[in-house]
Structures are given as structure tokens and as C-alpha cells.
Amino acid sequence: MNDTPTAPDLRPLGVGETLDAAFRILRQNFGSFVKISVAFMTPLAIALIIYMNSQIQYIGDNGLLYVKNPSEYQPTILLLGLAARLLQLLAFGVLVHLATRLYMNTPHTAASIVRLSSKRLLPFIGLALLLGLYAFSVLVGLTLTASPFGFFGAFIMGAGMITWATFYGLSAPSFWYEEVGARRAIGRSFDLVKGRFWPVLGSIGIAFVIILVFSVGFGALLVAAFTQNVNPLLFVLLTIGSEYFGTIIGVVVLAPIVTVTYFDGRVRNEGFDLQIKLDDSPEIDPTPPQSLPW
């Protein structure tokens, strides 16, 4: 029995086809995506719930929290929040790695992809930090540029950050599939998006709209709870729960979309589909046959 994975049906995709391929990956492997997300993000969510519930004494009519030790509460929440963001980042990285393998018809379970990804999780954090520093410098530059324009400056900053995020949104699949370093992955993302900015923006933008819809929905539950004068435990459960489920939906939806968009860029820009077909074709011995003696 041949266990070698078959090559995927790679071809140029439109925005609708990209989303359809991404959601097909997600639908066929939904359990693995959810297991990875839950495994990474649940421990910190539970820790936040326990800590916040132990500290909040009551919630004022103005929505302010009254806690036992304010000087300790804010730094602890900040540290726990940063830890939660780190685990969210790691979950996203593993999910992108899983999506690249699945798209190339290499099956994996949640456990096997986590084991395989563990070797490069630290460099992936380095990639995220480098992108974060880059984004911060771009934001500073946009702020200085847009400040003279008053109200319209906000639109300039928004357009600038969206443009930046689009050009570098394919860094994660480049990092995992090509097994390159952080700088190379960032450069690869720019090269793949260059010339195809609007289709890439369309695919990734739809993913963010989906995430936003769910986030707003969960946030609405929290707003509704405030009108009911909730007790501290219910407030904590709604606050952490809405962020928890919103984050899971976000990483689960975004990972396969950026992955399919990445491969589509390689097909269009580099003829990646032809490379795969050549790699899968039987090797031909270029040596000419020797003449027979008769």
C-alpha cells in the first residue's frame, strides 16, 4: 500500500473559491482545529475566571469594578492577559501549520501536528514579535502623517494599517510550509501579495468580517448582562467567555483562509502547481541507451 500523499488539485482561485476551499478544510477537520484551540486557550481562561472572581467585590451602577486589592489587580490582569495572547498566537501558528499540511493532502491529528510544530514554536514567536515591532513603527509613521488631517486622519491610518496587514498576512503559512526564518517569511508574504493586493484583501477581509460578527454578538451578551445588574461571577463568566469563544472562532476561521490564499499566491506567481506535478511525475533517465552490438 502506498502511503505517499497525493498532490492537491492546485490551480488559480477566485475569492469565492478560496473561501470555499478554506471552509472545506475546516469542515472536514473541524474537531482537530477546535481541539488545538481549546487546548491552548482554556487554561488561561480558567485562571482568569478564578482570579477575577476572587478579587471583584461588586460592580457599581456605573459599571466600575470594585476589587479587594486594586494595586495588585491591574498588573495581574495585564500579565494574565499577555499570557493569554501568547497562547492565542501559538494556537494560530499550529492551526496554520495544520492547514498547510491538510491542504497539501498530508493528514494529521491534533496531537501529531502539535508535536511536529513544537520544534518551531519559539521561532514563530520571534516572527510575531518582529511583525509587532514592524506594525508599531508603521503605526507611528501613519500617526505622524495623518495628524494634520484631523478627522480624515483616522481613515488614513485605518487604510494604512489594513494595507500593511494585507501585505504581511501570509507570513505565517510561508514560515511553516517553507520552513524559513522570520525575515524570509515576511519577505515572502510581501512578494506573494504584490500585484494581487485586492484579491488577497478580499479573502482575508471576509475572514475578519466573520470574526467581527461573532465578536460583536458575544459582546452584545455582555452589554445585555449589564442591564440586568449581574453579580460578579456572572460578569466574569460573560466577560472571559465572550472573549474566549470569540478568539477560538477567530483563529479557527483565519488559519485556513490565509493558508489557501498563500498557496493561491504561489500558484499564480511561481507556477507552484506545475512544480508539484513535475515533482510527482516519474523520473526519466536522461542517459541515452547504449547501442547494441548486433
For 167-199, the pLDDT digits (tens) are: 999 999 999 999 999 999 999 999 999 989 999
Given pLDDT bands bounded at 50, 70 and 90, which one contains residue 293? very low
Question: Is there a domain that residue 197 lies in?
Answer: yes
β-partners of residue 128 are none
Structural domains in the chain (count): 1
Question: Span 107-126, mean pLDDT?
Answer: 96
Position 239 in a domain: yes
Q: Is residue 12 assigned to a domain?
A: no
pLDDT digits 0-9 by tens, 216-248: 666 666 656 555 556 888 888 888 888 898 889
Name the residue range of residue 133's domain.
19-270
Tens digits of per-residue pLDDT, 125-150?
A: 999 999 999 999 999 999 998 888 88
Question: Considering the chain, what percentage of its residues have pLDDT values greater than 70?
Answer: 85
Structure confidence at residue 232 (pLDDT): 83
Tell me what the mean pLDDT of segment 79-92 comes to: 94
Q: What is the DSSP string of the chain?
A: ---SPPPP------HHHHHHHHHHHHHHTHHHHHHHHHHHHHHHHHHHHHHHHHHEEEE-TTS-EEES-HHHHHHHHHHHHHHHHHHHHHHHHHHHHHHHHHHTT----HHHHHHHHGGGHHHHHHHHHHHHHHHHHHHHHHHHHHGGGTHHHHHHHHHHHHHHHHHTTTHHHHHHHHT--HHHHHHHHHHHHTT-HHHHHHHHHHHHHHHHHHHHHHHHHHHHHHTTT--HHHHHHHHHHHHHHHHHHHHHHHHHHHHHHHHHHHHHHH-HHHHHHHHHSPP---SPPPPP--
The residue-averaged pLDDT of 40-48 equals 94
Q: In the structure, what pLDDT confidence band is assigned to residue 47 with cuts at 50, 70 and 90?
A: very high
Interval 61-76: pLDDT, tens:
666 788 999 899 999 9
Largest Cα span, the chain: 104
Confidence at residue 199, expressed as pLDDT on a 0 to 100 scale: 92
Confidence of residue 111 (pLDDT cuts 50, 70, 90): very high
Of 30 and 280, the structure prediction assigns the larger pLDDT to 30
In-domain check, residue 121: yes
pLDDT above 90: percentage of residues in the chain: 59
Instruction: Check pLDDT > 90 for residue 284.
Output: no
Is 252 within 8 Å of 26 (Cβ atoms)? yes
pLDDT for res 287: 43
pLDDT above 60 (res 281): no
Q: What is the mean pLDDT of residues 36-40?
A: 97
Handedness of CA 55, 60, 64, 70 (dihedral sign): negative
For residues 174-189, one letter each, b for 16 or more C-beta atoms within 10 angstroms of the residue's C-beta and e for the rest, the string is: bbbbeebebeebbebb
Asked if residue 169 is part of any domain, the answer here is yes
Which pLDDT value is given to residue 219? 62
Query: Is residue 130, in this structure, part of any structural domain at all?
Result: yes
| CA contacts within 13 A on the Cβ side of 236 | 21
* Predicted pLDDT at 286: 41
In a domain, 31, yes or no: yes
59 beta partners: 65
Q: Determine the length of the chain.
A: 294
On average, the pLDDT of the chain sits at 86
Q: Is residue 23 part of a domain?
A: yes
When comparing pLDDT for 65 and 280, which is higher? Answer: 65
Q: Could you tell me which residues come within 8 angstroms of residue 253 by beta carbon, excluding any fewer than 6 positions away?
A: 26, 207, 210, 211
